[in-house]
A = this chain, B = another copy of it.
Amino acid sequence: MEQVINDQIIQLREELEAVKNKVTLLENARKDQLSMAIVSGDMDKILAAMVISLAAAALDTKVKLFFSFWSLSALRDNKKKAKGKDFISKMFGIMLPGEKNKLKLSNMNMAGMGPLMIKYLMRKQGVLSLDQMFREAGELGIEITVCEMSMNLMGFKKEEMIDYPNIRYAGATTFVAEASESSIQLFI
């Protein structure tokens, strides 16, 4: 009789271990993490991305931003120059906004009047500027991954990019792998 009870206990233990492993997998599959793919380079979209990112970081959510296509303009540093660019890369460099403070609005840009109005209102309302938001993002450990394919397409070079503590260069696979573990994913 004791043998029967022992067998039952052993079986319960095995099943419990199996459930525990599944629960661990589930826990790892959904981290308290925000993944954002930022494709747009409009001032309002970058502002929205940064406001959401800082709010998430304040809630102790790990934040991982993937910058690609037009959003690369927000990472350019006007004061840095890169050499050895071909003709088309130089053209892109001139035509695209040279830094985050020169981004356009997706709407009501009005030849630059719209962004000026928004910046004036942000200052007046005590909202952080984009520069301040990026600085705070760096301090809060928000990670920025720059899309390598976009860098190549637009002919941007690493030495033109802003100084940022957690910046790295990788492809879309990295975004997808990290996003699939994140509790929040957004495409902006």
Interface residues of A, Cβ cutoff 8 Å to B: 1-2, 5-6, 8-9, 12-13, 15-16, 19-20, 22-23, 26-27, 29-30, 32, 34, 37, 39-41, 44-45, 47-48, 51-52, 54-56, 58-59, 61, 68-70, 88, 91-92, 95-96, 106-108, 117-118, 120-122, 125, 127, 149, 152-155, 171-173, 175-177, 179-181, 183-188
The answer to whether A9 touches B19, judged by C-beta atoms less than 8 angstroms apart, is no
The answer to whether A95 touches B70, judged by C-beta atoms less than 8 angstroms apart, is no
Contact of A30 among B30, B59, B91 (CB under 8 A): B30
The answer to whether B41 touches A173, judged by C-beta atoms less than 8 angstroms apart, is no
The answer to whether A44 touches B39, judged by C-beta atoms less than 8 angstroms apart, is yes
Chain B residues near A32: list those with CB within 8 A: 180
Query: Contacts A40-B106, A55-B176 given; 4 further ones with Cβ under 8 A?
Result: A19-B23, A52-B176, A91-B117, A185-B185
Q: Which 9 A-B pairs have the closest CB atoms?
A: A186-B187, A55-B172, A55-B173, A56-B176, A180-B183, A55-B176, A39-B48, A121-B153, A125-B152
Q: Which residue on B lies nearest to A121, using beta carbons?
A: B153
Chain B residues near A9: list those with CB within 8 A: 5, 8-9, 12
Q: Which residue on B lies nearest to A118, using beta carbons?
A: B153
Q: Which residue on B lies nearest to A44, using beta carbons?
A: B69
CA distance in complex: A45, B21 (Å): 39
CA distance in complex: A55, B148 (Å): 14
